[in-house]
C-alpha cells in the first residue's frame, strides 16, 4: 500500500487526509507534518494519523503532498532537499508554484505533479486539475488521479493553464459564496427572516448546481427556461447587465489569474 504524507495539514491538507480515510485508506498509511504541536495533537486525536517531522515523512512516505501556503515553501524545500530522491513522488497543491521549482531545488529526477484543488474537497466535491512535471510518468499521474478521485473530480491540464485554473476553480467556490451571501442580503432587504432567506438561496444553489451537472444543458438554456416574457426574471437580468456583473466577473477572474502568476514569480528564475 502506498504511504502518503501531507506536509502542512491546514484546510486543504486536512480535507485531503479526511477524504483519503473515507475512501478506505488506513490511518497507518497516512502521515502529516505540522508546525504547531497542538494542531498536530488535534489532528491525531481526530483521525488517528501520526504527525511526524519532515525528514521522517520523506523517509516513510512514497508520496509527499505539499499543502503549505506558497509563501511558506522555502523552508519546506530546504528540509526536503537532502532527504528526497527520485523514488518519492512530490504532489504540490500550492497556488502559483511551478513544478520546475521543485525540480531545481530537489534531487535530479524527482517526479513532481502540480495540482490545483479547491475547498469543496471537505465534502468530497473538489475540482482538482493535475499537470505532470518533466519527470512524472503516466503511472505517477494515475496514482495522483486515484488519490484525488476520493475527494472529487479530477482533470488533467497542461501546466501552462494552471494559473487560469487557479483563478477559475481554485478560487471559484469563493465567488459562489459571495453571490449566495449577497442574495441572502437581498432576501433580508425584501423583509424575509434570515433563516428563510438562507434556506431559499442555499437550496436554489444546490438545485442549480445539480441541474448544471446532471442535465449537461448549457447554462444559457437553463437560464432561459426561468426567463419568461415580461416575467420577473428578465427584470432582474436587466439589472444584472446594467450593473456590469458579467464584466465584473471577467475582470475579477483575470485579477485572480494575475495574482497566481505573481505568486510563482519569485521562483521563476533559475535560483
Ligand atoms: N484554501 C483554498 O481554497 C485552496 C484552494 C486551492 C489550493 N490551495 C493551496 O493549498 C495550500 C494550502 O492552503 P490552505 O488554505 O490549506 O492553507 P492553510 O490552512 O494555512 O494550511 C497550511 C498549513 O501548513 C502549515 N505549515 C506551514 N509551514 C509549514 C511547515 N514548514 N511544515 C509543516 N507545516 C507547515 C500551516 O501551519 P501554520 O498555521 O502554523 O501556518 C498550516 O496549518 C496553499 O498552497 C494553497 O495555495 C488552497
Domain ranges of the chain: 4-162, 172-260
Superfamily of segment(s) 172-260: ProC C-terminal domain-like (1.10.3730.10)
Best of 13, 16, 69 for a ligand 1 pocket test (most atoms within 8 Å of beta carbon): 69
182 CA → ligand 1 middle, Å: 28
68 CA → ligand 1 middle, Å: 4
Q: Cβ neighbours of residue 30 under 8 Å, at least 6 residues apart? A: 3, 4, 5, 6, 17, 20, 21, 47, 49
Q: What is the DSSP letter of 169?
A: I
Per-residue confidence (pLDDT) for residue 263, from 0 to 100:
87
Q: Which atom of ligand 1 is nearest to the CA of 94?
A: 45
Per-residue confidence (pLDDT) for residue 270, from 0 to 100:
46
Per-residue confidence (pLDDT) for residue 269, from 0 to 100:
55
Question: 3-class DSSP state for residue 62?
Answer: coil
Per-residue pLDDT of 142-181, as tens digits, reads 999 999 999 999 999 999 999 999 999 999 999 999 999 9
Per-residue confidence (pLDDT) for residue 163, from 0 to 100:
95
154 CA → ligand 1 middle, Å: 21
For 67, the grid coordinates are: 499543502
Give me the tens of pLDDT residue by residue for the chain, a chain 271 residues long.
799 999 999 999 999 999 999 889 999 999 999 999 999 999 999 999 999 999 999 999 999 999 999 999 999 999 999 999 999 999 999 999 999 999 999 999 999 999 999 999 989 999 999 999 999 999 999 999 999 999 999 999 999 999 999 999 999 999 999 999 999 999 999 999 999 999 999 999 999 999 999 999 999 999 999 999 999 999 999 999 999 999 999 999 999 999 999 988 777 654 4
9 CA → ligand 1 middle, Å: 7
Per-residue confidence (pLDDT) for residue 1, from 0 to 100:
77
The answer to whether 94 and 69 are in contact (CB under 8 A) is yes
Per-residue confidence (pLDDT) for residue 271, from 0 to 100:
42
Does CATH number 3.40.50.300 belong to domain 4-162?
Answer: no
Q: Give this prediction's pTM.
A: 0.93
Per-residue confidence (pLDDT) for residue 267, from 0 to 100:
72
7 CA → ligand 1 middle, Å: 9
Best of 6, 7, 10 for a ligand 1 pocket test (most atoms within 8 Å of beta carbon): 10
Per-residue confidence (pLDDT) for residue 160, from 0 to 100:
96
Q: Which atom of ligand 1 is nearest to the CA of 76?
A: 31
Q: Which atom of ligand 1 is nearest to the CA of 118?
A: 5
For 86, the grid coordinates are: 527520485
Residue 55 in contact with ligand 1 by CB distance below 6 A: no
The answer to whether 128 and 116 are in contact (CB under 8 A) is yes
**Cα(35)–Cα(9) distance, integer angstroms:** 9
94 CA → ligand 1 middle, Å: 8
Residue 118 in contact with ligand 1 by CB distance below 6 A: yes
**Cα(61)–Cα(58) distance, integer angstroms:** 6
Query: Which residue numbers belong to the known binding site for NADP(+)?
Result: 67-70
Per-residue confidence (pLDDT) for residue 264, from 0 to 100:
82
Per-residue confidence (pLDDT) for residue 265, from 0 to 100:
79
Amino acid at each position: 500500500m502506498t504511504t502518503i504524507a501531507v506536509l502542512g495539514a491546514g484546510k486543504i491538507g486536512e480535507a485531503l487526509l479526511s477524504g483519503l480515510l473515507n475512501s478506505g485508506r488506513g490511518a497507518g498509511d497516512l502521515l502529516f507534518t505540522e508546525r504547531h504541536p497542538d494542531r498536530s495533537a488535534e489532528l491525531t486525536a481526530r483521525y488517528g494519523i501520526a504527525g511526524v517531522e519532515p525528514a521522517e515523512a520523506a523517509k516513510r512516505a512514497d508520496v509527499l503532498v505539499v499543502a503549505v501556503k506558497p509563501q511558506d515553501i522555502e523552508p519546506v524545500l530546504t528540509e526536503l532537499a537532502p532527504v528526497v530522491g527520485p523514488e518519492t513522488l512530490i504532489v504540490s497543491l500550492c497556488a502559483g508554484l511551478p513544478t520546475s521549482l521543485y525540480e531545481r531545488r530537489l534531487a535530479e529526477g524527482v517526479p513532481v505533479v502540480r495540482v490545483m484543488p479547491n475547498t469543496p474537497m471537505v465534502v468530497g466535491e473538489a475540482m482538482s486539475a493535475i499537470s505532470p512535471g518533466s519527470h512524472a510518468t503516466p503511472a505517477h499521474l494515475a496514482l495522483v488521479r486515484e488519490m484525488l478521485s476520493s475527494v472529487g473530480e479530477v482533470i488533467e491540464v497542461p501546466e501552462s493553464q494552471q494559473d487560469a485554473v487557479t483563478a477559475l476553480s481554485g478560487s471559484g467556490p469563493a465567488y459562489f459564496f459571495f453571490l449566495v451571501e449577497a442574495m441572502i442580503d437581498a432576501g433580508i432587504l425584501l423583509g424575509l427572516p434570515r433563516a428563510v432567506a438562507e434556506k431559499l438561496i442555499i437550496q436554489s444553489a444546490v438545485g442549480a448546481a445539480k441541474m448544471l451537472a446532471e442535465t449537461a444543458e448549457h447554462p444559457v438554456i437553463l437560464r432561459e427556461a426561468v426567463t419568461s416574457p415580461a416575467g420577473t426574471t428578465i427584470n432582474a437580468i436587466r439589472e444584472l447587465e446594467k450593473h456590469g456583473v458579467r464584466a465584473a466577473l471577467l475582470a475579477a477572474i483575470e485579477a485572480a489569474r494575475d495574482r497566481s502568476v505573481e505568486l510563482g514569480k519569485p521562483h521563476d528564475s533559475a535560483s
